[in-house]
Structure 1
Amino acid sequence: MLTNDNFSSQKNGDTNSIVHIDTRPMSTSTTSSSSDAKRDWVLLNVGGKHFMTTRSTLSKEESFLGRLCQYEPDLKTDVDDKGAYLIDRDPNYFNVVLNYLRHGKLILETNLVEEGVLEEAEFYNIRPLIELVKEKIRERDRRKFNDCRTSRVYRVIQCQEKEVTQLMSSLSDGWKFEQLIGHSPVGSSYMYPEGEFLCIVSKQYDRGTREDNNTSVSERVKILQERGSRM
């Protein structure tokens, strides 16, 4: 038996046409897609500061954070009143960790140090970040070691006004111009004749070599020093 809920009949002359009416419920694919997108977002409470990110970001590396958003039953976690996962760590360093997971780069603010990031990377067990931070620490320590092996020597050279330009152009062997001092200021205890200048130059040398081999200046500078350079 046909009912009005399923079919409608229309008479056209001697011909009856039967039209089927689709009474199936509307597709929920759009609603489901929107719901899935919402579920992809995760709220974290790290040291009292909230961070919003996605499960795909946290799952880029095998780590504590990746397990956290996979609903692993053996991973005991608490949530706050907003439903955010509670993590008792430094939020400033966590921001570095989260940005690394987002774009794969290690970016440190001036008030943060590599050792702090290493502690967090080890806590979250993010192996690629651990190796990256360790390499950054080795590079930093090498730079510090090289800086300790070098020192900068300063020379003060007295010269006439007409000799200033020639002095500037004659600097060589790594010597660098630093400052040119004119006439003595009022009240200064150091006096030198008008028309003369003090030219300050510097050079960086290796502590491991003989100082006399690294503090040599050009012949022009030596001549000016003989005329009355003052250290």
Structure 2
Amino acid sequence: MDEQKSTVRAVERALDIMLCFTDATELSLSEIAKRISLHKSTVHRLLASLESKGFVLRDSQTDKYRLGFRVWELSANLTHSDDPATILLSEMERLREVLGETISLYVRDGLERIRIQAVQSNQAIRRVAPIGARMPLAVGASSKVLVAFDERTVLESVLADPNWPENVNRQGYQEQLAEILQLGYAMSVEERELGAAAISAPIFNRNGKLVAAVAVSGPSNRMTTEVMKEFAEPIMEAAKRMGKMLK
């Protein structure tokens, strides 16, 4: 039993190492060890195993690690037939051309939202949205959409989250969700990031199930509250079109 637990723990640690590369292209042994709070000798052994299987590569000149080609081999076999990130890309590009700002697609994963697709604005000063970024559900337009339009149990879990930010009032948060349900969209100004604003709408599939949230984001000095209200109708119409494309 102890050997089985040890094996499972080793797998968990190896996966933790892989997840370090969700927001970094290259990392040193020390950086990885710090991120996952493990001794460097342990991390080195795990990296050696991952390297032998082709999941990470080590640059002999910089002594830094990056993802290996085996990861791309696996991703090539992903099923795209029901993948919102693939199916909705054309509609996201269409919305970007209409509104001129960055378009993002989010889904809820537990008590976080994750950006699964993004179409960057063509403007010189724009909101850069990296794919794979994870954010809490307590702040941000898309977070509130993903909670407001989902089942009540999701809201209960979010409110009970021990990592709930101290500067966010739970009662005020619930009142905002009630208003979002009436409006059909959510707006946020510098809630999560200084100088950034966003408006988001829910995407329901053909069965009426909440699948994702589409968001338009940009600099807050350009995306004022008045401008975002003008964006509301186009983004909600786009969300409806997107929903009809999903099973």
* Structure with the larger helix share: 2
TM range (shorter): under 0.3
What is the TM-score normalised by the length of structure 2?
0.18
